[in-house]
Amino acid sequence: MPTGHQFDKTGRLPPEDVGAVRNEVPSTAALSPSQRRRKSVIVVLAAIAVVAVSVVISSRRHPPRESNAVRLSLGLPPGITLHRNWHPFEYMALSPDGEMLAFAASDASGQSSLWFRELSSSEPRKMEQTEGALFPFWSPDSRFIGFWASGKLQKIGRSGGTPEVIFSVAEVAQGTWGPDGTILFARTVNSPIFRVSRDGAKATPVTSLLPGQVSQMWVQFLPDGKQFIYLARTSLTADDPHAKVYAQRLDGDAPTEIVTTPHRPVVADEYLLFIQQQNLYAQRMEWNSLRRIGEPLLVARNVAASPAYLGSSEFAASQNGVLIYGTAEGFPVYQLRWYARDGATVGGVDPVVDYQQFTLSPDGKHLALNSFQQHATGSLWLIDIGTNTTTPLTVDPHAQSDPVWSPDSRYVAFNLMPNGGSDPPFLVAKIEVGKQQLEPIYGDNGTHWVEDWSPDGKFLLTHDTRTLSVLPLTGDRRPQPVYSSSSLKDEFHLSPDGRLIAYDELRDGRWDVFVASFPAFEDIKQVSPAGGAQPRWRGDGRELFYISNDGEMISVTLERGSLVKIGAPRKLFDTGLVPDATVNQYAVTPDGLKFLVLQPRKGYLESYSVILNWPATLKTSQN
């Protein structure tokens, strides 16, 4: 590969070199649409690294002048969409020395693993034995990478080898690594930040959720290794004016407020990088005293970010001046499109903003969804399929998620996270369509995600990380466990007669679809032979649908007798999706003839930029 490219005075590549760089990226023209989707993460990161490598190597040999910064604009090849939960930078990490990029991606088989990409190499490298890896984080010396997979925080050397377990934590966790080897980790909601003991035997809280806080995430050590920062949110909706970045000492002092933002922050040497209104700012800090030096300075505009849920921000930074970020206009807007069984487009639904979960009513007339729409009074919405009109389902200002319909289409059950110190942090509630009056069903200090409503209307299915429960809607209304498992499961859906249950299960880093008898969980059958997610029943229970790992909508017939017989999978059409077992990406009508598929907005997060020696841009902006 070429060892360098010449840049003009503006820091841009001349047209002929831009073409050369694009030609160095592996071609996708000969790949099928599903292969292109699966290759997208690797191709884009290869493009970034190929462009950056010569300048990075040169900058190490010849340290750049303070006024010297290089900007590169990168685009995705035609037909490529990069998304992992639509927020890919949550699953990328630049090494502190700026030499290597770690990222979570799936190969052609659909198996998710950790990949490394040295900026001095032309090919990404898959790290074996890292199946299902998420949230990579580097050791300060850039020799090891930590990650979460299969219910454990683990680490592996940058050259590979056998991963070592840091600590067992069932829920998805994001970590940070201190200079003396201390590991902190954060869980997504309703949890403080923990410190792992030296022997990995226990984890001790180092923070406390303050009144009103529902999440403490994106923990990161400061350079001294004695303090750390994190983002604390008071709502998982987009409108969270009280979300702040705090710094705190390991010895348990009270947290110190640093900046107000709903987005993931990043510590880069003496700067705190953060986003406000899609502008990326750098705040110079005196970290020992937590004193801000001057005002925040603009680094880049139109940086992709969503203020909803955990507060994504699509950028990554090293400790020596390398910055990669995705650009976008506005927040993520997703389009809902109707497809026939042959893949023909047969209509659409007007977009709201930032869909996360949606479900079609059993009578096929309404769509309930939770949207993290900015300035929304409530996060649950109702779309009338016939008139294509959108109205709030609730007016409660607190975060709501995971709507499920009653079998008669009159009620919607959901999860509610109220603010306040004495309120239960997690509620199961329901609402009658058109009434806007919430009825709490159950609440305690645990987490019970609503999964489905029984066909007879008598109970809800809820689950935490490992246990599926039945929540009666009469009597004492307390969850009754029916099944526990050591593996991660999600997307539980009862068959129309209530005798079977379909669900996703994560095994060896790959999600697959299974069917079992209910409530006994006997006669368990694997439905997807090569990976899949999001099972949905046809109204008569004789057909099951799911999305395969290569994005195909799959149909499977079921024959009922003393034992269930699973038919051969049949491809219906290419959805264009990378399936995600943690969100709803489609719904199907009761007759199984039409599919409502969630598509990311065209043009969102399709451009990537690299700034080498980015702090030099701050000096330029001050002049």
* Residues 492, 29: Cα–Cα separation, whole Å: 38
* Residues 500, 127: Cα–Cα separation, whole Å: 38
Give the model confidence (pLDDT) of 564-600 as tens digits. 899 999 999 988 777 777 778 899 999 999 999 987 6
Average pLDDT over all residues of the chain: 80
What is the pLDDT averaged over residues 397-424? 75
Residue 27 predicted with pLDDT over 70: no
Question: What string of DSSP letters covers 85-154?
Answer: TT-GGGGEEE-TTSSEEEEEEE-TT--EEEEEEETTSSS-EEETT-TT-EEEEE-TTSSEEEEEETTEEE
At residue 212, the pLDDT reads 81
Residue, of 149 and 74, whose pLDDT is higher:
149
Give the pLDDT band of residue 69 (cuts 50, 70, 90).
low
Residue, of 223 and 428, whose pLDDT is higher:
223
Instruction: Tell me if the pTM is above 0.95.
Output: no
Rounded alpha-carbon distances, angstroms, from residue 492 to 151, 455, 520: 19, 13, 14
At residue 15, the pLDDT reads 35
Rounded alpha-carbon distances, angstroms, from residue 123 to 100, 116, 135, 293, 315: 12, 9, 21, 40, 21
* Residues 595, 555: Cα–Cα separation, whole Å: 12
At residue 436, the pLDDT reads 74
Q: Hey, what domains does the chain have and what are their CATH numbers?
A: 86-331 (2.120.10.30)
Residue, of 507 and 559, whose pLDDT is higher:
559
Q: Phi and psi at residue 568, in whole multiples of 5°? A: -70, 140
What is the pLDDT averaged over residues 424-437? 78
At residue 9, the pLDDT reads 30
| Least confident span in 137-146, 353-362, 544-553 | 353-362
Maximum distance among all alpha carbons in the chain? 79
At residue 428, the pLDDT reads 84
At residue 357, the pLDDT reads 77
Give the model confidence (pLDDT) of 479-538 as tens digits. 999 998 877 788 999 999 999 999 999 877 678 999 999 999 988 999 999 889 999 999
| Least confident span in 65-69, 328-332, 574-578, 618-622 | 65-69
Residues in the chain: 623
Q: Which two tokens stand for residue 234?
A: 């008071």
Q: Where are the beta strands (DSSP E) in 393-433?
A: 399-405, 411-417, 426-432
Instruction: Report helix, strand and coil shares of the chain as percent, to nearest 5.
Output: 10, 45, 45
At residue 446, the pLDDT reads 64
Q: In what order do the strands lie in the sheet with 183-187?
A: 173-177, 183-187, 193-196, 203-205
With residue 204 as reference, give the H or E element that holds it. Answer: strand 203-205
Characterise 412 by phi-psi region: left (phi > 0), alpha (psi -120 to 50), beta (else): beta
At residue 333, the pLDDT reads 58
Q: Which residues make Cβ contacts (< 8 Å) with residue 85, sequence separation at least 6?
A: 91, 580, 582, 583
Highest mean pLDDT among 37-41, 412-416, 568-572, 605-609 belongs to: 568-572
* Residues 390, 435: Cα–Cα separation, whole Å: 15
Query: One-letter amino acid identity for 603?
Result: G
Q: In DSSP terms, which residues pair with 216 in a beta bridge? A: 232
At residue 621, the pLDDT reads 53
At residue 109, the pLDDT reads 57
At residue 277, the pLDDT reads 86
At residue 304, the pLDDT reads 83
Query: One-letter amino acid identity for 383?
Result: I
* Residues 258, 393: Cα–Cα separation, whole Å: 36
Give the model confidence (pLDDT) of 73-130 as tens digits. 554 444 334 444 456 667 789 999 988 888 877 665 556 788 887 766 667 788 999 9
* Residues 606, 604: Cα–Cα separation, whole Å: 6
Question: What string of DSSP letters covers 261-323?
Answer: -SS--EEETTEEEEEETTEEEEEEEETTTTEE-S--EEEESSB-EE-STT-EE-EEE-SSSEE
